[in-house]
Homo-oligomer: A and B are copies of this chain.
Amino acid sequence: MSDQIKVGIVGYGNLGRGTIEAIKKCSDMKLVAIFTRRAPESLSINEPNVEVLHISSAEEYKDKIDVMILCGGSATDLPEQGPYFARMFNTIDSYDTHAKIPDYFGMVDEAAKAGGKTSIISVGWDPGLFSVNRLMAEAILPSGETYTFWGKGLSQGHSDAIRRVEGVAGGVQYTVPIEEAVERVKSGENPELTTGEKHRRVCYVVAKEGADRAKIEQDIKTMPNYFADYETEVNFITTEELKENHSKLPHGGFVIRSGKSGEENKQIIEYSLNLDSNPEFTASVLVAYARAAYRLNKEGQAGAKTVFDVAPGYLSPRSAEDLRRDLL
């Protein structure tokens, strides 16, 4: 189709690979090129009709790509790439360094407006779909409390922290909601709960030969910020078990708004995700919002946006008439 939305991807990690797959599910979109900081020929990408290029050549694709999906990380990639690409392309990213979102939004907004482009930042499920649900639920039930639970899911940051412990050869960490806390929230009790009272941390660790397991367990459990404030469980496993049972990237979680209407009626709104693959799901969200960015730009709505600024209809390839008839 000549009227397909032409998409580019920046970054070829888990998220970039998930984005390739997600675009394949959308007949109204076409992946044109993948941009990387590595030597393009070093990437083994088996996608006919997709160019693999060095990131420095992106500018030449200004007229060949309708929307660029930035798949880099929030720590170092996006603070640089976000504003850089926003000046030349409509962009989508999954920026998630929460405390710095206002600054990041400002930088991207300035760049996008200068270029007449539309950039939707902080897209994914949290921030992203969970944010939309926090906002809508609070607007609908002003009297109440909102709770976000994460998991059961593999936390990349906590897994990295385990692997830095002395004597550890490998390991992963799952964040698990505490069932009792979930039940209290769902009952409408509106308890006050810290993150540590809502979640426990379950670790699967491969110890190096001859390492002191008791010390590893102690080092993990007392690690500040990551584990000290949580109920933490450490299980030692073999390298084979790690590979066999813990190489997927499942995740999920839920947002619950527990509020009251009128004098006393309890009303509970819940949004939940149960994901076999965190990066593939996040990529699927990015791609739907890429469609929205392209359309908003066609309407002349330049600048930085977030999921809060995007009406649901922009996410679907179907016409407004079809949506009203079939999904309303």
Q: Is there an interface contact between B324 and A101, defined as CB atoms closer than 8 Å?
A: yes
Chain B residues with CB below 8 A from A323, complex form? 135, 308
Chain B residues with CB below 8 A from A325, complex form? 101-102
Q: Is there an interface contact between A328 and B98, defined as CB atoms closer than 8 Å?
A: yes
Indicate with 1 or 0, residue by residue over A135-150, a CB within 8 angstroms of chain B CB atoms.
Answer: 1101111110000000
Q: Is there an interface contact between A25 and B143, defined as CB atoms closer than 8 Å?
A: yes
- Given A274-B268, A320-B308; A284-B101 close (CB under 8 Å): no
Task: Sort chain A's interface into a size bin.
Answer: 35 or more
Chain B residues with CB below 8 A from A268, complex form? 273-275
User: Does A18 interact with chain B (Cβ within 8 Å)?
Assistant: yes
Chain B residues with CB below 8 A from A315, complex form? 135-136, 139-140
Cα distance A135–B323 in the bound complex, in angstroms = 8
Q: Give 28 A-B contacts (CB < 8 Å), ordered by A residue.
A: A18-B261, A25-B142, A98-B328, A102-B321, A102-B324, A102-B325, A127-B328, A132-B312, A135-B313, A135-B323, A135-B327, A139-B291, A139-B315, A140-B281, A261-B281, A266-B276, A267-B277, A268-B273, A268-B275, A270-B272, A272-B272, A308-B312, A308-B313, A308-B327, A309-B313, A309-B320, A310-B311, A311-B311
- A: which residues have CB within 8 A of B? 18, 21-22, 25-26, 98, 101-102, 105, 122, 127, 129, 131-136, 138-143, 186, 261-263, 265-277, 280-281, 283-285, 288, 291, 306-313, 315-317, 320-321, 323-325, 327-328
